[in-house]
Amino acid sequence: MSRIFLTSTMRRSFILDDVSLLQRNYDVDFFIGSGVVDAVRMFVRALRADVSICWFASVYSFVVTLSAKLFGKKSIIIVGGADAAAIPELDYGIWLSTWKSWFLRKALRWADGIFVVDDRLRESLEHHSRLSLEKAALLPTGYDIEFWRLPESDTVRDGILCVASCDSVQRAQVKGIDVFLQVADDLPDLRFTLIGVEQSFQKRMPFTVSPNVKLLPSIDRDQLREYYQRAEIYCQPSRHEGLSNVLCEAMLCGAIPVATDVGGTATAVGEFGVVVAPEDFDALRNGILASLSLPEETRENAHQHIAQRFPKELREQRLMTLMNQMIGKNGA
């Protein structure tokens, strides 16, 4: 059985989904780590594998792709979003670092495969790296449409929901939470809910939080689904995104999306919501108000759009086909 080494610096549900999928067909060595010692461990584990996968491009990708190149193995980099970012005004994005950029360019050159969740990330990656990345293949994330489902027909919807993991001012601004809260302050008759703000950060947030805003820390999937199913509008005000998982999950649950035109959000929203310019208070405010007038069937259409375009089964099929090609088997 072929051995796959999959590594990342963080543990996320979509990464664990890929691990579970690969374990059905391969011997998978899964490793989460960071720091010099773990970089050495990644180098060693990569040389023992037939194919190494780095979830997110990083300096660690350089270590893994170097090991694979030296020992005649294969390597893959999956680009998810933050690894294709460069926002100088927020000091956000790995491509702002000269020395990290050098390592990333090497890793991208050496990788046998590059997967991106949306074509706009490929464009962003080519822009920042100044490389031609024809080998980059489109591999969107996939969603469990049995779990992220429409609510019962008698469910009462109310308010505007946003889900964003926030533990710092920088992270909140990348997710556009400052603009979201400004809009909430300007629309006092509407209810806004923001999920994902760590309690320690809630106490030191430098933004105005109006009485019509409810702040919650991260919650489990079952609770999150209930919020999606009760939300009238789902708002994604980010300054940078890949293909937003929470946006797609909310749409599957029938929340009408209002999202900024960054990364793959326009692809996700399609014609079934409102897409606005990032960092634009008036555009986001007007987009939310416009979405309140969209016909009720928009919810079902939004669900069907994501269910047909991004089901987890399609990602599984594409990933297995690409993996089988990488190790010399016939594609599925």
What is the predicted pLDDT for the residue at 1?
79
Contacts of 319 (CB under 8 A, 6+ apart): 18, 21, 22, 139
Contacts of 147 (CB under 8 A, 6+ apart): 221, 225
Taking the domain 3-142+312-326, which CATH number applies?
3.40.50.2000
Q: What is the pLDDT of residues 142-182, one digit of tens each?
A: 999 999 999 988 789 999 999 999 999 999 999 999 999 99
Strand 160-166: give its sheet, edge to edge.
213-216, 192-197, 160-166, 233-236, 256-260, 274-276
Question: 3-142+312-326 with 160-309: one CATH topology?
Answer: yes
Q: What is the pLDDT of residues 10-53, one digit of tens each?
A: 988 889 999 999 999 899 999 999 999 999 999 999 999 999 99
* Contact by Cβ (8 Å): 293, 256: no
Q: What is the pLDDT of residues 47-96, one digit of tens each?
A: 999 999 999 999 999 999 999 999 999 999 999 878 888 999 999 999 99
CB burial of residue 328 (10 Å; 0-12, 13-18, 19+):
exposed
Q: What is the pLDDT of residues 205-253, one digit of tens each?
A: 999 999 999 999 999 999 999 999 999 999 999 999 999 999 999 999 9
Residue 306 Cα distances to 152, 195, 216, 312, 319, angstroms: 19, 22, 26, 10, 18
Alpha carbon distance 187, 197 (integer Å): 21
Is CATH 3.40.50.2000 the classification given to domain 160-309? yes
- pTM, to two decimals: 0.92
112 pLDDT band, cuts 50/70/90, is very high
For the chain, domain boundaries: 3-142+312-326, 160-309
329 pLDDT band, cuts 50/70/90, is low
322 vs 332, higher pLDDT: 322
In the predicted structure, residue 331 carries a pLDDT above the cut 60: no
Residue 249 φ then ψ, to 5°: -60, -45
In the predicted structure, residue 330 carries a pLDDT above the cut 70: no
